[in-house]
Structure formats: structure tokens, C-alpha cells
A and B are shown apart, each in its own frame.
Chain A
Amino acid sequence: MHLRTWVFIHKWTSLVCTIFLLMLCLTGLPLVFHEEIEQLSGVVEAPPMPEGTANVSLDKIVQSALAAQPNKVVRYMFWDEEEHPNITIVSMASKVDAPPDEFWTVAIDSRTAKVLDQPNDQGFMAVMLQLHKDMYAGLPGQLFLGLMGLLLVIAVISGVVVYKPFMRKQDFGTVRKQKGRGVKWLDMHNLLGIVTVVWLTVVGATGIINTLDPIVLAVWQGDQLADMVKPYKNAPPMKDNGSVQAAYITAEKTAPDMGVRLIAFPGTAFADPHHYTAFMKGNTPLTARLLRPVLVDAQTGALTDTREMPWYVKALFVSQPLHFGDYGGLPLKIVWALLDILTIIILGSGLYLWAKKYLRHREAQGILADAEAEEAQRAGVLQQ
């Protein structure tokens, strides 16, 4: 392709997505630190009790949740021992098949079944998350942002292609600060763009994959989940759920080297009407993300099936940490934030160069003319 074509691609893919990317970078900045911010803003902690105090039955915890919210049902229970030790988070809704964005969170002490908090105020972080995820526009908004991510990746690739002719006569890292603002910001744009290229491509591509999560879920429901619960296809509906504690114990026995991360209740998006699905996490940084489903018959507490997730779910699971930067402690989050700020400067300088019509600058015209002469020469050689 001609250099002018690449320049054209870089210019227009960037221009279309820049305003959305700026929004994503700005909202993403606090989201990187959401755990720290939540802790500072006083998320509830379980009171200290003697080391090794046993947990109560999960059925008791369900009762506590239902007592606190008698008009709701439990859809999910999950645990994060690192961030919230000794707390069971119960996610409730008006009915089991209510839309996924309707939920009510109850934090319960795992050892006493006491309700500690019902953290449901829509604060600053919830606004940031909603803007970042779908701009309050639901699935269409989410997929639209995925499309903007795709434009970003194309802008990055075309940016790498046009980097070379613009840097041919300069050493790596040259920023000509005395030659006027336009030239200085061109050099800055090139420098910041090329040093962040791998990180930005990975964060962009994994962001695109994350926008596909409802699709991944739907495919998994129709594929692996449907296959695992096939024997229950014509089973009569259950009157009420059996013991979730029994399901928990079966799941732990089935995958003894893993821990339970989440239990989906019967009839939710992650389980059929006859099963609890326990999602198990491994104990290495990677396997902790690659959850494994264990389906337990909700009435009998017996194991129905467990399988490794299919590749497309694994791809989603691996994409999450690579997008969020939450897998290397606070130092990695700080680096993530710094790279995010560099990205904001790249976007801003790109916009500035466009507004200043840098491509009409003598230097840019010279580089494009040189490239065209070279392309013509190469074409001539090929024809001979």
C-alpha cells in the first residue's frame, strides 16, 4: 500500500475514535484503582474473630439475605478472600431471570451469617464503570465501544507503518524542541506512540474482547452448558432449590485443588433450572482467572458434570486481567495508570497535529513526496 494510503487510514480511524478513546482513558484511570478507592471510601470489613473460626452453612447465609430482602431472590454468591476476607457477597434480584443489570448486593459475614452491609449506592465509581462499559447505552453502547476499540487497533497499526518514514533521518527518541510547536508535538506523538505500542494494542484488543462478553455467554449457554445439562431436558420443574451448602461441598470435592469463586443459582444465566453451577478458581495467577464450571444437581447435591471451559470463554477470561491491569499488585496498577496518561497525551497530540494541519507542513509534504518517488521507482523496477 502507498504511504499516503496508510496516512489516510491513520488519520481517519484516529479521528473517528479519539473522542471515545479520550473518554475511555479518563474513566479508565480511576477504574484501575477501583479496589483501593473502594477500600479508602470505607467498604465494609468483617469484624475480627479468633483465627480459624468456622463458616456457617451457606443455607444460613441465603436465609439471612432473604430476611434482609424478603421480596428478592438470590441469584449469585461469590467470594474474594484477598480483597474481602470472611465475606460472602450475595447478589439478589426481583426474580431469577431479571435482566443482568438489575441486582442488589448484600455483604454477609461468612462466619455468623450477619448482614454487614447492602452497598448499592450509585457512587462515582459506578458512574465511571457505566460510562466506560457502555456509556449508559446497554448492549449497543458496549458493542459500539468495541468498534471504537477496533478503530484504535487499526490506528495503532497504521501509526507504526507511518512511523518509519517520519523517523528515518532521526535517532530514536529525538524530540526537536526548538523547531516550533508543531514539529515538537509530531516528535512527541511519534515517541509516545512507539514506546506504548505493544501495551496499547494489548489493552485495546482485550477491551474489544471484553465488549463481546454477552455474546460469549450466549454461545457458552447454547454450547457447553446445554450439553452438560442435556439429561435434565425433560425433567419436571423443581419446587424450590435444594441445599447450596451441599452443592458447595460437592464442588470442593470435585476439584480439590481449586477454590469456589462463585455459585450461580438455578435458573440464572450461568445455570439451568435444575443446577447450581460452582465456578472454581485455580491457585496460580493464570488459573485463578480460568474458572472451571462444576454443575451440581440442585435437589440431590450430586455432581452432574464438570468440564474445562471452551477456548472462547478462556480467551475472555484471559482478556480481563490484561485489560484491567489488576494482576500484579499496586505497582502494576500505577504503571497501568502512567501508560494510560501517555495514551491521553498521544490522543491529544494527534488531535493537535490534525487541527494544526501538520500534513500540509513542508516537512510532511517532503516525506510524502520522497515516499511517492520511491514507490514509483520500485514499481518501475518491478515492471522491467
Chain B
Amino acid sequence: MKVWFWPIVIGLLSAVGLLSGLLYDGLGDAVSWLALLVPVVLAVWYGWVRNHAADDSRA
């Protein structure tokens, strides 16, 4: 379960993002791009920004 918690949250957010812009204008569009920006932000944060030796401590 530990492995899947965040992937499921991100997956649900992506689904909300994909649908809200299609179903609603205005606010729906804003929700759409904010929700789909989450995977991008997480990828950039964990993949490129965060860069401490501490990252290796659990590995």
C-alpha cells in the first residue's frame, strides 16, 4: 500500500484534470491545468530540484 498511495493520488488528480476541462468551461479549465500540472511539478521537484545526499539515506 505504501508504494501505491502517492501514485493513486496523482492518478486520480490527473483523471480529474483530464475531465474537468472537457466538461466545464472557465473554472473547469483552471482545475484542468492545475491538476495536470501536479505530475509535472512532482517530476521536476524529485527529479531535478531536490538534490541532497540525504536522498540516498534510505536506499
User: Does residue A37 face the partner (Cβ distance < 8 Å to B)?
Assistant: no
Q: How far is the CA of A317 from the CA of B36 in the complex (A)?
A: 22
Question: Do A332 and B21 contact each other (CB < 8 Å), given the known contacts A178-B53, A195-B42?
Answer: yes
- B29 near A329 with CB under 8 A, answer yes
Those of A151-168 within 8 Å (CB) of chain B: 163-164, 167-168
- A199 near B14 with CB under 8 A, answer yes
Those of B3-58 within 8 Å (CB) of chain A: 3-7, 10-11, 14-15, 18, 21-25, 28-30, 32-33, 36-40, 42-43, 45-47, 50-51, 53, 55-56, 58
- A322 near B36 with CB under 8 A, answer no
Q: Which of B18, B28, B56 contacts A179 (CB 8 A)?
A: B56
- Shortest CB–CB separation between residue B39 and chain A, in angstroms? 4
Question: Do A173 and B23 contact each other (CB < 8 Å), given the known contacts A196-B39, A196-B43, A198-B18?
Answer: no
Interface membership of chain A positions 293-335, coded 1 if the CB is closer than 8 angstroms to chain B and 0 otherwise: 0000000000000000000000000100110000111011011
Q: How far is the CA of A177 from the CA of B57 in the complex (A)?
A: 11
- A192 near B55 with CB under 8 A, answer no
If over half of A's interface residues share one DSSP class (helix, strand or loop), that class is named, otherwise mixed; here it is: helix
Q: How far is the CA of A195 from the CA of B7 in the complex (A)?
A: 6
Question: Do A335 and B55 contact each other (CB < 8 Å), given the known contacts A173-B42, A173-B46, A285-B22?
Answer: no
User: Does residue A347 face the partner (Cβ distance < 8 Å to B)?
Assistant: no
Interface bracket on B: 35 or more
Total interface residues on A, CB under 8 Å, equals: 42
User: Does residue A124 face the partner (Cβ distance < 8 Å to B)?
Assistant: no
Q: Which of A169, A197, A286, A322 contacts B18 (CB 8 A)?
A: A322
Those of A129-179 within 8 Å (CB) of chain B: 163-164, 167-179
Q: Contacts of A177 on B, CB cut-off 8 Å?
A: 51, 55-56
Closest to A173 in B: B46
- B59 near A170 with CB under 8 A, answer yes
Q: How far is the CA of A267 from the CA of B24 in the complex (A)?
A: 37
- A194 near B21 with CB under 8 A, answer no
Q: Contacts of A335 on B, CB cut-off 8 Å?
A: 33, 36-37, 40
User: Does residue A202 face the partner (Cβ distance < 8 Å to B)?
Assistant: yes
- B22 near A322 with CB under 8 A, answer yes
Those of A270-305 within 8 Å (CB) of chain B: 284-286
Q: How far is the CA of A338 from the CA of B36 in the complex (A)?
A: 10
- Shortest CB–CB separation between residue B58 and chain A, in angstroms? 6
- Shortest CB–CB separation between residue B56 and chain A, in angstroms? 5
- A284 near B40 with CB under 8 A, answer no
Q: How far is the CA of A172 from the CA of B10 in the complex (A)?
A: 12
- B29 near A331 with CB under 8 A, answer yes
Q: Contacts of B3 on A, CB cut-off 8 Å?
A: 163-164, 167-168, 172
Those of A242-288 within 8 Å (CB) of chain B: 284-286
Q: Which of B7, B23, B24, B38 contacts A172 (CB 8 A)?
A: B7
Q: Contacts of B22 on A, CB cut-off 8 Å?
A: 285-286, 318, 321-322, 327
- B18 near A199 with CB under 8 A, answer yes
- B47 near A188 with CB under 8 A, answer yes
Question: Do A174 and B15 contact each other (CB < 8 Å), given the known contacts A284-B25, A285-B25, A332-B33?
Answer: no
Q: How far is the CA of A327 from the CA of B18 in the complex (A)?
A: 10
Q: Contacts of B36 on A, CB cut-off 8 Å?
A: 199, 332, 335-336, 339
Q: Contacts of A174 on B, CB cut-off 8 Å?
A: 46, 55, 58-59
Q: Which of B24, B25, B43, B53 contacts A195 (CB 8 A)?
A: B43
Starting from the known contacts A196-B43, A336-B36, A338-B37, 15 additional A-B residue pairs (CB-CB under 8 Å) come to A163-B3, A172-B3, A174-B55, A174-B58, A175-B46, A178-B56, A191-B42, A191-B47, A192-B43, A192-B47, A195-B40, A198-B15, A327-B21, A329-B33, A332-B32
Give A contacts to B, CB under 8 Å. Answer: 163-164, 167-179, 188, 191-192, 194-199, 202, 284-286, 318, 321-322, 327-329, 331-332, 334-336, 338-339, 342
Which A-B residue pairs are the 6 nearest by beta carbons?
Answer: A328-B21, A173-B46, A198-B14, A195-B39, A172-B6, A328-B29
